[in-house]
Amino acid sequence: MFEQLQQLPADPILGLMGLFARDANPHKVDLGVGVYKTETGLTPVLDAIKRAEQALVAEQTSKVYVGPAGNLAFLQSMMVLLLGEHQAQNLQPRLATLQTPGGCGALRVAAELIKKARPEASIWVSDPTWGNHIPLLGNAGIRIKTYPYFDASRNALAVDAMMDALSQVPAGDLVLLHGCCHNPTGVDLQPAHWQQIADLAAQRGFVPFVDMAYQGFGEGLDEDAYGLRLLMAQLPEVLFAVSCSKNFGLYRERVGLVGLLNHTAAGATAVMSHLTSIVRGIYSMPPDHGAELVARVLQSPELTALWRQELVDMRERIQGLRMAFVAGMNSRGAAGRFDFIAQQRGMFSFLGLSEAQVAQLAKISSIYLLGSSRASIAGLNHANLGYVCDAVARII
C-alpha cells in the first residue's frame, strides 16, 4: 500500500540543518535555521528556564493529564505578557485561548478553527512569508492568497502596494500579519501601518490573524506587541498564534498558544468548545513541561527579571552582529550596500543575493543560508564574521 509513495525533497529550512551537519569543513557557518546562538555557536537553555526546571523536578507531584486547553497558569501569564496587565484583564471574558504544541501547532489549530467557522475563507499571507506558513495553513484545506510586503529594490516595506492589496480583501477573509521580526525579511510594520491595517479591517470586515513568534527579539517585549495590542483594542475579532520557542529558548519543548478575541463572552465560550474539540481530534492534549516552565518564570518576579535580562542580551547580541556585518562589508568595498541590515530587526534578513550566489557560498565556503538569501543573523559570531564577510564580498 505505501510502496507507491515517492521520496519527497527535504524541507527548505530543516533540510539545511542536515546539509550543515554533514559538511566536514571546520570553517562551516550555519545561517540557515532560525535559532539563537551564542558567541560559541551554542543554543543554550536559558538560566531562568534552568532554574524553573530544577524547581519543577523537585516539586512536581503528578503527571496527570492537563486537559485539552493545556496549562491554565501558562495561558494566563502569557496573555499578560502579550497584552499587558490592563488589556489582558479587560479583554479576558472575550478571549478563547488554548495551549498548543509550539507556534506551528497554534497555526494549524487556528486553520482548523477557520475551516469550521468559514470554510470558504481565504488567508492572505505576506509575499514573502515564513516558508512553513503555507503548508501549516494550506494543508488544513484553507485557500492561501498573498499580498505584497517587501520591495527588494529598496530592501524595505512595499507599503503602498501592501495597503492597496489589503484594501481589496473581502469581508470574512483573514490577513496573516507577523507581530514583529518579520520572517524572512526582518522588515517590520511601524505603528502608523498597524493603524492603517486596523482601519482597513474595520472598513472591509476582514479578520487580522497575528503570528507572534519573536516577542522581545525586535525592540522590546512591549514594543513588539504594539500591533497586536492595537488591533485587539480596536477590532471585534482578532486571531493570534504565539510561539515560546525563541524568546524562552524552548524550541524542542514545543510551547505555544492559539487565541481568538471574540465579539462577545458567549462567543468566546463557543469558540473554546470548538478549539478543545479540534485538538481532541488531533493530539488530544498538549505536552505540559515547557508551558509549566514558562508559567513558573512569568509568575516569579525573580525569574522574570532574570529571563527579561537574558532576552535583552539575545536581542542586543543580534543587533550588534547586524552592525558588525554591515561594518565588515563596508570595509570590504561594499560601502552602503548592506546598510539596511542594521535597520532591520529580529533573527533574519535577506542578503539580497541570487540563488546561484547562495549555492556558491555553500559550495565554496560552507556557508549555509536559504535559497532566498535569508540569513539567520544569530549564526554569525566574532570568530566567523570576517570569514563570512570575505566570502560574501568575493561573490558579489
Q: How far apart are CA 275 and CA 273, in angstroms?
A: 6
* DSSP states along 344-396: --SSEEE----HHHHHHHHHHH-EE--TT-EEEGGG--TTTHHHHHHHHHHH-
Of these, 20, 29, 34, 258, which contacts ligand LMR (CB under 6 A)? 34
- Nearest distance, CB of residue 212 and ligand LMR, angstroms: 13
What is the DSSP pairing of strand 255-261 with strand 150-151?
unpaired
- Binding of ligand LMR by 344 (CB under 6 A): no
* Residue 217 in contact with ligand LMR, rule: CB under 6 A: no
Burial class (CB in 10 A: 0-12, 13-18, 19+), 351: buried
Q: Pattern 169-188, binding to ligand LMR, x per CB under 6 A?
A: --------------x-----
Percentages (nearest 5) of helix, strand, coil residues in the chain = 50, 15, 35
Considering the complex, what minimum distance in angstroms separates the CB of residue 230 from ligand LMR?
24
Active site (annotated) includes residue 211: yes
| 372 touching ligand LMR, by CB under 6 A | no
Among 74, 130, 217, 226, binds ligand LMR (CB under 6 A): 130
Residue 146 DSSP label = E
Q: Residue for cell digits 529571563?
A: 307
State the minimum distance, in angstroms, from the CB of residue 232 to ligand LMR: 24
Does residue 218 touch ligand LMR according to CB under 6 A? no
* 216 sits near ligand LMR (criterion: CB under 6 A): no
Closest approach, Cβ 130 to ligand LMR, in A, equals: 5
- Grid cell, residue 158, equals 512595499
Q: Total binding residues for ligand LMR by CB under 6 A?
A: 6
Q: Active-site residue among 30, 37, 124, 130?
A: 130
Residue whose CB is less far from ligand LMR, 173 or 211: 211
The least CB distance from residue 331 to ligand LMR, in Å, is: 29
Q: By the 8 A CB rule, do 99 and 256 touch?
A: yes
Known catalytic residue: 145?
no
Using alpha carbons, select from 18, 82, 151, 15 the residue that is nearest to residue 294: 82
The catalytic site residues sit at 130, 211, 246
Which residues sit at the interface with ligand LMR, rule CB under 6 A? 13, 33-34, 130, 132, 183
